[in-house]
């Protein structure tokens, strides 16, 4: 495994070892394995909603098509690009962390946060437009389409539910990356000379990105 | 299991303090990272929840003595059985064995100083407590009446009780499970002592590992499902309500996708305990180690494919039903493999009828009945008549109380001396084991008959079928015996904490790394990392008998 | 006090059901006794201190493992097959079954016979005649359970479910709601009265217990509603621009705009009225108004009426000037 080779190369006694571990490499691998298992739980977490989506789309293709026409494809596309770019900057942050290039690592983390914020801002625009048009599910739901379409509400329930959950993950990501950047900046012992935290956060961030890669076509690009 | 240098520090004066003595302040407990202390915290918490769950059970049983109820309103009755189900499942049974026995033993059994992530472990306890608090508050503020299954649209649109708070409680407790699951998986993968290969793992570790896999794959699904119910309830952002074009049965699919595997979250750890106890008290190597190990994984895997057997009358299609029924029969096979292997383990052993072993015997008998009656329910046409009747109630109490709680009690009595360094009076232990076994059967055998007669579950009244009463009275009588049976251990175990005879590192003459260290163990478990050179369960019944017969037995 | 051991066998399903149930019981007892006896025998015989031969114990034995994997597997497959076959029977009503409509709501059962007779928390059925129940709920999920008939079927909001049976002996049997549905779940029940056929006919003709001459049938009620809501403006005897004809609709195959083909079952027609935009017929727009305020009872009546317009197999009476011959039952 690539990580292991890197441990050998970079990690030495400098890294603090927790009492339950025998050696640093064991500790680091534990963290990475733990992160992967956590991501599996995340996949299952979103999985329940994806299942609901599949079922209803299959059952109400018309409504799905009609309802999706109200989504803003250019904005969605922009957001996809923004998020993909942030994944790239995150990957670079990990890369520079491994090279112990603190300055570049911080820059890349900052860029990731910036892009994530851009994503959220665009998202906020989209959402407020939906609010304006009464497309928020609930008693006040208002479908002014050319044709009445009660299941449009179902579509928007899932739209808000899934993109909302995703946005929550983005926000958590911003916080975590922020803390990581701060600690790195301060040379805190938790992260000093240790690229594993950055790698873990990176894994998480790629996951957030991948979820969006699924959400975007499923909601914005429904073929007739 | 032999280690390179046996680490027996118990008697030496320079021995490090035990985990119980490493700090006496409340803070030292509440901020501990020590898996053993966290296990004790869990033990206290689950016992409290078991007490409240049992209190609710007692109310149910009293109420059903008469066809028109005894003291409760229908609404209250509904809240009581819901509280009983939710407390027992989410706050007692799911954490019971993994978080108490598993937490304490898993690292020691594989020769580690702690779990991989001690702080995550502590967090998981706090999450559990927070979830439990929500549950308790929900009950205190008027209760919930949905049943533990939260079926929509009743839960999301109709019930006007504290559904939201309860669901939040279950949701948070779910994340506590997930944290434990992640921790166990990483620990088993990365923390094994030198020489502790996968096939030298004690089978308890295998089953904890399989349990963790289920937790990690299943719990998030129920978490999101419950969250959707809350969204529908609070914000009317619904996906289950038929008024929105949603499908209420989708909820059932998502719910059982977790909750069927969850029943294996409950039974697998108990099965793990049985392996450890049965080998020790028969002084035998386990029969068919590999088959037992892989059957745990088979249960974990197949367990995810049978959820639809809870829905044979829910309007799912006939063909769906057939697949689920067939797979349910397949998932029964690994359980059968385990049962037969345990039976074979006893053969030619050197059997000691001490308290833990009595519970193993209880487990074997009751789990088999519970499992086999599961097959009535897995058969599509028999389930049509039996579903949502007391037959189901009897089935799951047989597997959960007769299976899991027997396993839990077996484990608790087996490792109690390891936990606290003191023995309990074995004769009281045996007495209560017998009472529990008898009381249990008297409580729940009549319920099979009731179910077959057609007594629906979650029924407060049955005055339109007064002929059910005889069986209800029998069941309540049994529950009274059961109550005594459960109270006795509570008393003598607490008593033993102070007055029990000191146990020494290995009171049972058991094998396994946990018995090579002092009781109670020091904070880091091992002073030197053990090196494992042997398979687990290195017992030899024949040799021990020869030795015993040549000298006076040490312990009666 | 009496202690009954089994419920009455009062429907065609009861006997075959009990046969399977008893075989499963026998298997359970067999395996419990087998495992229990072996465990106890071994434990006692090999108890500590008992001088018996303990030599030659093995740690594993492939033959044994295969045996005790294969036997439960085979037995299980047999049980599965037997049960599945029975289940399929219980889900396939004969074509000539008498139809009764059931609506569940918190907390009562409401039944309606096709001649319009209604009853609450009671259901009268003839002995010896296949009866098919079409059921729906107005609120939460309920479950229609008659222990003496060995039948149970959940009753859902928003979707029809079906159950059928033949009562085989006259008598009064329990009707329970078996799916938890709120406060009075345990009181949501009543009785099934199975009457000999002649008596049943008499009962039905007299409009149940309430004497109401010229009771309108369900189809009559549906027709009245159909007229009142002016459905005929768009749905005549022939397909028109405004809407497809409903003649010969029931049971036919309909093609939707997305190309899928759907069978016009009761559930389909219900949705077409209550939620017309869920699926749109090929060649049409979604111009039909939603009739969301209709109650489940209204919907059942409308469907009953639409069915008198002929089914795919047997085109109905000609009301307009166009004969049903032009309305093909097949895919359109
Ligand atoms: C610890 C928990 C636990 C365990 C282990 C099981 C184990 C099994 N359960 Fe159970 N079950 C529950 C807890 C559990 N269950 C609960 C809580 C419910 C109700 C939920 C609710 O609605 O509230 C439920 C409900 C339930 C239903 C739905 C009933 C209904 O609502 O209609 C079904 C249906 O198939 C079922 C089947 C099974 C099967 C096939 C097994 C199998 O795994 C059993 C396998 C074991 C054996 C078979 C015994 C050992 C084998 C032998 C001795 C060899 C002989 C074997 C053969 C001949 C095959 N269970
Ligand atoms: C771990 C899980 C677990 C455990 C241990 C139990 C334990 C018991 N359960 Fe429970 N039960 C469930 C899980 C469990 N149950 C679930 C999930 C449901 C379904 C809920 C639903 O439908 O949503 C259920 C439902 C259920 C019902 C059906 C209710 C209904 O459908 O209307 C009944 C009825 O008899 C019952 C009885 C009992 C009894 C007698 C015990 C006994 O084993 C309890 C024994 C203990 C005692 C009898 C008390 C011991 C004494 C004390 C701790 C002191 C108490 C103090 C005083 C009495 C003063 N249970
Ligand atoms: Cu209706 Cu229970
Ligand atoms: Cu199940």
Nearest Cα to Cα of residue C302 among C246, C261, C234: C246
Helix (H) / strand (E) containing C112: strand C108-113
User: Coil, strand or helix: which one is B363?
Assistant: helix
In this prediction, residue C324 carries a pLDDT of 33
- CA-B443 nearest atom, ligand 2: 40
User: Coil, strand or helix: which one is A2?
Assistant: helix
Whether A171 has a pLDDT exceeding 90, the answer reads: yes
Give me the mean pLDDT over the A136-155 stretch. Answer: 70
Residue A40 CA to ligand 1 centre (angstroms): 27
CATH architecture entry for C98-205: Sandwich (2.60)
Nearest Cα to Cα of residue A172 among A212, A105, A219, A120: A120
Helices and strands in chain A: count of H runs, count of E runs:
7, 0
- Residues 234-273, chain C, touching B (beta carbon < 8 A): none
Answer whether B379 contacts ligand 1 (Cβ < 6 A): no
Q: Contacts of residue B538 in chain C, CB cutoff 8 Å? A: none
Nearest Cα to Cα of residue A45 among B129, B94, B216, C298: B216
Q: Which of B149, B161, B393 to mutate to test the pocket of ligand 2 (most atoms within 8 A of CB)?
A: B393
**Which ligand lies nearest the alpha carbon of C178?**
3
Average per-residue pLDDT for chain C? 83
Closest Cα of chain C to A49: distance in Å?
A: 21
Q: Which of B69, B80, B82, B88 to mutate to test the pocket of ligand 2 (most atoms within 8 A of CB)?
A: B88
Helices and strands in chain C: count of H runs, count of E runs:
6, 12
User: Coil, strand or helix: which one is C312?
Assistant: coil
What ranges in B87-193 are assigned the alpha helix state H? 94-95, 103-109, 118-140, 163-190
In this prediction, residue C209 carries a pLDDT of 56
Contact C133, C114 (CB under 8 A): no
Q: Contacts of residue A151 in chain B, CB cutoff 8 Å? A: 244-245
- Which of B118, B182, B221 is closest, CB to CB, to A20? B118
Nearest Cα to Cα of residue C69 among B329, A64, A39, A136: B329
Contact C179, B151 (CB under 8 A): yes
Q: Contacts of residue C76 in chain B, CB cutoff 8 Å? A: 329-330, 332-333, 375
pLDDT tens per residue, range C165-176:
999 999 999 999
Among left, alpha and beta (phi > 0; psi -120 to 50; other), residue B449 is alpha
User: What is the rounded CA–CA span in Å between residue C270 and residue C136?
Assistant: 11
Which residue lies with its CA nearest to atom 56 of ligand 2? Answer: B55
Whether C191 has a pLDDT exceeding 50, the answer reads: yes
Burial of C256 (0-12, 13-18, 19+ CB in 10 A): middle
Task: B315-321: list long-range contacts, CB under 8 Å, 24+ apart.
Answer: B315/B249, B315/C153, B315/C154, B315/C156, B315/C159, B315/C161, B316/B249, B318/C87, B318/C88, B318/C91, B321/B380, B321/C87
In this prediction, residue B274 carries a pLDDT of 95
In this prediction, residue B422 carries a pLDDT of 92
Answer whether B147 contacts ligand 2 (Cβ < 6 A): yes
Closest Cα of chain A to C141: distance in Å?
A: 20
Whether the CB of B389 is below 8 Å from some CB of chain C: the reply is yes
In this prediction, residue B137 carries a pLDDT of 92
Q: Which two tokens stand for residue B69?
A: 């109820």
In this prediction, residue B3 carries a pLDDT of 40
- Domain assignment present for residue B306? The answer is yes
- Residues 188-247, chain B, touching C (beta carbon < 8 A): 242-243, 245, 247
Q: What are phi and psi of C191, to 5 degrees?
A: -135, 150
- Domain assignment present for residue B546? The answer is no
Q: Which two tokens stand for residue B357?
A: 């072993």
pLDDT tens per residue, range A20-38:
888 888 888 889 999 999 9
- Count of structural domains, chain B: 1
CB contact under 8 A, B470 and C183: no
Banded pLDDT at C9 (limits 50, 70, 90): very high
Per run of 10 residues, the mean pLDDT along chain B (length 556 residues) is 42 69 85 91 95 94 91 91 94 93 93 90 95 92 91 88 92 94 94 90 93 93 91 83 82 91 93 94 91 92 92 89 93 94 92 93 95 94 94 96 95 94 92 95 95 93 91 94 94 92 88 89 87 86 77 52
Residue B41 CA to ligand 2 centre (angstroms): 24
CB contact under 8 A, B333 and C73: yes
- CATH topology classification for C218-327: Cytochrome Bc1 Complex; Chain D, domain 2 (1.10.760)
CB contact under 8 A, B380 and C46: no
Complex confidence, ipTM: 0.88
Residue B354: CATH number of its domain: 1.20.210.10
Contact C21, B453 (CB under 8 A): no
In this prediction, residue B79 carries a pLDDT of 93
In this prediction, residue B2 carries a pLDDT of 40
Whether the CB of B514 is below 8 Å from some CB of chain A: the reply is no
CA of B113: which chain A residue's CA is closest? A20
CB contact under 8 A, A62 and C290: no
Whether A202 has a pLDDT exceeding 90, the answer reads: yes
Answer whether C182 contacts ligand 3 (Cβ < 6 A): no
User: Coil, strand or helix: which one is B303?
Assistant: helix
- CA-B404 nearest atom, ligand 1: 1
User: What is the rounded CA–CA span in Å between residue B440 and residue B445?
Assistant: 8
Q: Contacts of residue B524 in chain A, CB cutoff 8 Å? A: 19
Banded pLDDT at C17 (limits 50, 70, 90): very high
Burial of A126 (0-12, 13-18, 19+ CB in 10 A): middle
pLDDT tens per residue, range B2-15:
444 444 444 444 66
User: What is the rounded CA–CA span in Å between residue B498 and residue B519?
Assistant: 15
User: Coil, strand or helix: which one is B415?
Assistant: helix
Q: What angle do CA B208, B212, B216 make, to 5 degrees?
A: 175
- Which of A18, A47, A150 is closest, CB to CB, to B221? A47
- Residues 159-188, chain B, touching A (beta carbon < 8 A): 178, 181-183, 185-186
In a mutational test of the C interface, the residue from B66, B244, B256, B347 whose CB has the highest number of chain C CBs within 10 Å is B347
Chains that touch B (3 or more CB pairs under 8 A): A, C
Whether the CB of B534 is below 8 Å from some CB of chain C: the reply is no
Q: Contacts of residue C290 in chain A, CB cutoff 8 Å? A: 148, 150
Give me the mean pLDDT over the C23-40 stretch. Answer: 94
Residue B301 CA to ligand 4 centre (angstroms): 13
Residue B478 CA to ligand 2 centre (angstroms): 12
Whether the CB of A114 is below 8 Å from some CB of chain B: the reply is no
Dihedral (CA of A121, A125, A126, A128) sign: positive
Residue B375 CA to ligand 1 centre (angstroms): 7
Of residues B513 and A61, the one with the higher pLDDT is B513
Residue C331 CA to ligand 2 centre (angstroms): 56
Residue B395 CA to ligand 1 centre (angstroms): 7
Whether A8 has a pLDDT exceeding 60, the answer reads: no
Domains of chain A: 2-12+22-220 (1.20.120.80)
Contact B513, B3 (CB under 8 A): yes
pLDDT tens per residue, range C216-263:
778 888 888 888 888 888 887 778 888 888 888 887 888 887 777 888
- Domain assignment present for residue B18? The answer is no
Q: Contacts of residue C106 in chain B, CB cutoff 8 Å? A: 158
In this prediction, residue C326 carries a pLDDT of 33
Question: Percentage helix, strand, coil, to 5, in chain B?
Answer: 70, 0, 30
- Residues 202-231, chain B, touching A (beta carbon < 8 A): 216-221, 223-225, 228, 231
Closest Cα of chain A to B156: distance in Å?
A: 13
Q: Contacts of residue C275 in chain A, CB cutoff 8 Å? A: 150-151
Q: Contacts of residue B189 in chain A, CB cutoff 8 Å? A: 30, 33
Whether the CB of A156 is below 8 Å from some CB of chain C: the reply is no
Domain extent at residue B527: 37-535
- CA-B146 nearest atom, ligand 2: 23
């Amino acid at each position: 495994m690539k990580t292991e080779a890197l441990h050998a190369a970079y990690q030495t006694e400098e890294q603090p070892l927790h009492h339950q571990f025998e050696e640093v490499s064991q500790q680091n691998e534990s963290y990475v394995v733990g992160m992967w298992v956590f991501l599996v739980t995340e996949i299952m977490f979103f999985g329940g909603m994806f299942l609901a989506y599949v079922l209803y789309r299959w059952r109400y293709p018309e409504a799905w098509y009609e309802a999706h026409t109200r989504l803003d494809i250019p904005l969605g596309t922009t957001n996809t690009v923004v998020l993909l770019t942030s994944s790239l900057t995150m990957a670079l942050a990990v890369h520079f962390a491994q090279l112990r290039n603190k300055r570049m690592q911080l820059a890349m983390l900052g860029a990731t946060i910036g892009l994530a914020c851009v994503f959220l801002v665009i998202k906020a625009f989209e959402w407020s437009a939906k609010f304006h048009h009464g497309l928020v599910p609930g008693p006040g739901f208002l479908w002014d389409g050319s044709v009445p379409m009660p299941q449009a509400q179902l579509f928007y329930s899932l739209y808000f539910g899934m993109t909302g959950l995703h946005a929550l993950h983005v926000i958590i990501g911003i916080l975590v990356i922020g803390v990581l950047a701060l600690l790195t900046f301060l040379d805190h012992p938790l992260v000093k000379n240790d690229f594993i935290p950055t790698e873990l956060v990176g894994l998480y961030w790629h996951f957030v990105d991948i979820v969006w890669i699924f959400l975007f076509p499923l909601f914005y690009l429904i073929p007739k | 299991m032999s280690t390179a240098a046996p680490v027996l520090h118990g008697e030496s004066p320079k021995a490090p303090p035990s985990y119980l003595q490493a700090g006496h302040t409340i803070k030292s407990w509440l901020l501990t990272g020590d898996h053993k202390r966290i296990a004790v915290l869990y033990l206290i918490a689950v016992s409290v929840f078991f007490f409240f769950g049992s209190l609710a059970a007692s109310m149910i049983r009293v109420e059903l003595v008469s066809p028109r109820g005894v003291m409760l309103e229908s609404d209250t009755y509904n809240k009581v059985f819901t509280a009983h189900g939710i407390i027992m499942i989410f706050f007692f049974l799911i954490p019971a064995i993994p978080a108490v026995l598993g937490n304490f033993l898993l690292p020691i059994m594989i020769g580690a100083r702690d779990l991989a992530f001690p702080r995550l472990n502590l967090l998981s306890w706090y999450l559990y407590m927070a979830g439990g608090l929500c549950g308790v508050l929900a009950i205190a503020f008027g209760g919930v009446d949905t049943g533990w299954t939260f079926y929509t649209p009743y839960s999301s649109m109709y019930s006007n009780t504290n559904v939201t708070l309860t669901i939040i409680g279950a949701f948070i407790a779910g994340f506590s499970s997930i944290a434990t699951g992640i921790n166990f998986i990483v620990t088993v993968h990365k923390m094994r002592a030198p020489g502790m290969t996968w096939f030298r793992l004690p089978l308890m570790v295998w089953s904890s590992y399989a349990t963790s896999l289920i937790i990690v794959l299943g719990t998030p699904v129920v978490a999101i499902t419950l969250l959707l119910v809350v969204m529908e309830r609070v914000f009317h952002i619904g996906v289950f309500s038929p008024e929105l074009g949603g499908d209420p049965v989708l909820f059932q699919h998502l719910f059982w996708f977790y909750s069927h595997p969850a029943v294996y979250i409950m039974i697998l750890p108990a099965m793990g305990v049985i392996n450890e106890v049965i080998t020790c008290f028969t002084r035998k190597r386990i029969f068919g180690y590999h088959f037992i190990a892989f059957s745990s994984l088979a249960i974990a895997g197949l367990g995810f494919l049978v959820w639809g057997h809870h829905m044979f009358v829910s309007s799912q299609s006939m063909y769906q039903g057939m697949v689920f029924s067939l797979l349910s029969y397949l998932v029964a096979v690994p359980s059968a493999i385990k049962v037969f292997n345990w039976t074979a383990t006893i053969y030619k052993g050197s059997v000691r009828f001490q308290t833990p072993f009595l519970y193993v015997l209880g487990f074997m008998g009751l789990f088999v009945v519970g499992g086999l009656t599961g097959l009535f329910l897995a058969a599509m046409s028999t389930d049509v008549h039996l579903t949502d009747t007391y037959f189901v109630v009897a089935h799951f109490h047989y597997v959960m109380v007769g299976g899991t709680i027997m396993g839990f009690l077996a484990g608790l009595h087996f490792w109690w001396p390891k936990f606290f360094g003191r023995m309990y009076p074995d004769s009281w232990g045996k007495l209560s084991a017998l009472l529990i076994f008898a009381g249990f059967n008297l409580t729940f055998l009549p319920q099979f008959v009731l179910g077959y007669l057609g007594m629906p579950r979650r029924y407060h009244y049955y005055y339109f079928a007064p002929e059910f009463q005889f069986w209800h009275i029998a069941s309540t009588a049994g529950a009274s015996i059961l109550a005594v049976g459960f109270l006795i251990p509570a008393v003598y175990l607490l008593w033993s904490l102070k007055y029990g005879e000191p146990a020494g590192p290995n009171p049972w003459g058991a094998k396994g790394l946990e018995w090579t260290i002092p009781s109670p163990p020091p904070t880091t478990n091992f002073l030197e990392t053990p090196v494992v050179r042997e398979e687990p369960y290195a017992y030899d019944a024949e040799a021990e008998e020869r030795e015993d017969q040549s000298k006076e037995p040490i312990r009666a | 006090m009496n202690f009954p051991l089994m419920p009455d066998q009062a429907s065609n399903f009861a006997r075959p059901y009990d046969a399977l149930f008893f075989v499963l019981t026998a298997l359970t007892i067999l395996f419990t006794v087998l495992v229990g006896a072996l465990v106890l025998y071994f434990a006692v015989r090999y108890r500590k201190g008992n001088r018996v031969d303990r030599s030659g114990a093995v740690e594993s034995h492939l033959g044994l493992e295969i045996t005790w994997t294969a036997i439960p597997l085979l037995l299980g497959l047999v049980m599965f097959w037997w049960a599945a076959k029975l289940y399929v029977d219980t889900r396939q009503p004969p074509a000539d079954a008498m139809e009764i409509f059931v609506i569940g709501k918190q907390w009562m059962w409401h039944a309606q016979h096709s001649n319009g007779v209604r009853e609450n928390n009671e259901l009268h059925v003839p002995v010896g005649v296949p009866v098919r129940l079409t059921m729906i709920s107005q609120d939460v999920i309920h479950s229609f359970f008659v222990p003496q008939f060995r039948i149970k079927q959940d009753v859902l909001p928003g979707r029809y479910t079906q159950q059928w049976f033949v009562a085989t002996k006259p008598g009064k049997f329990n009707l329970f709601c078996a799916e938890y549905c709120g406060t009075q779940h345990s009181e949501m029940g009543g009785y099934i009265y199975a009457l000999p056929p002649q008596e049943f006919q008499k009962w039905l003709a007299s409009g149940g217990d309430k004497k109401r001459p010229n009771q309108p049938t369900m189809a009559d009620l549906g027709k009245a509603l159909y007229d009142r809501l002016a459905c005929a403006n768009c749905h005549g005897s022939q397909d028109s621009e405004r809407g497809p004809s409903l003649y010969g609709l029931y049971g036919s195959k309909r093609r939707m705009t997305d190309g899928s083909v759907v069978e016009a079952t009761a559930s389909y027609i219900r949705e077409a009225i209550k939620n017309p935009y869920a699926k749109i017929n090929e060649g049409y727009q979604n111009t039909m108004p939603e009739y969301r305020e209709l109650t489940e009872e209204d919907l059942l009546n409308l469907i009953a009426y639409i069915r008198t317009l002929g089914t795919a197999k047997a085109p109905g009476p000609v009301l307009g000037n166009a004969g049903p011959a032009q309305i093909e039952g097949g895919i359109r």
